[in-house]
């Protein structure tokens, strides 16, 4: 069951940290059934952010994005479970909160696209790249949750 080991990268952005929704985000992923295998709070360096958002470097909003993401602490997490990437993106909601359904994180907690509180990997390939960018291998844990047999 390799798909059960799928991992995704989720980051609570500075506005989400400042607004105190860290616990709510963690709760939603835990209640869904995903397993937290890595988490840290940090002030992301400009270099890290430029590497993370390299695909957006030619967009006019890139400098504003880097400034926003470096404006305060970020909570970086790695979640594991079947369909973690796709389901995680659904749980986050659309990038633009105005397009996000109620019940999604952005639908419930955001108003403006420039302050959309959370990032989630958009593919397994992106997740692997982002996880290796933000975490060293030894910072990730491997364990079997007691809920495993109730989920799978």
8 is in an annotated binding site: no
135 is in an annotated binding site: no
Known catalytic membership, residue 52:
no
19 is in an annotated binding site: no
106 is in an annotated binding site: yes
d(CA 145, CA 139): 18
- Beta-carbon-side half-sphere exposure of residue 131 (alpha carbons within 13 Å): 26
136 is in an annotated binding site: no
Catalytic residue among 74, 119, 121, 127: 119
Burial track 58-77 (b if 16+ CB lie within 10 A, e otherwise) = eeeeeeebbebbbeebbbbb
96 is in an annotated binding site: no
State the binding site for ATP: 13, 61, 89, 95, 106, 116
**Which positions are catalytic?**
119
Please enumerate, by residue number, every residue annotated as part of a binding site.
13, 61, 89, 95, 106, 116
């Amino acid at each position: 069951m390799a798909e059960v080991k799928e991992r995704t990268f989720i980051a609570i952005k500075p506005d989400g940290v400042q607004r105190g929704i860290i616990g709510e985000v963690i709760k939603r992923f835990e209640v869904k059934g995903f397993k937290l295998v890595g988490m840290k709070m940090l002030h992301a360096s400009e270099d890290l952010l430029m590497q993370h958002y390299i695909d957006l470097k030619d967009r006019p909003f890139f400098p504003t994005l880097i400034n926003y993401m470096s404006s305060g602490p970020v909570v970086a997490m790695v979640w594991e479970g079947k369909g973690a990437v796709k389901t995680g993106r659904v749980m986050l909601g659309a990038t633009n909160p105005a397009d996000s359904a109620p019940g999604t994180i952005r639908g419930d907690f955001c108003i403006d696209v420039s302050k959309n509180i959370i990032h989630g990997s958009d593919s397994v390939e992106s997740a692997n790249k982002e996880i290796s960018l933000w975490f060293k291998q030894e910072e990730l844990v491997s364990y079997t949750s007691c809920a495993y047999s109730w989920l799978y």
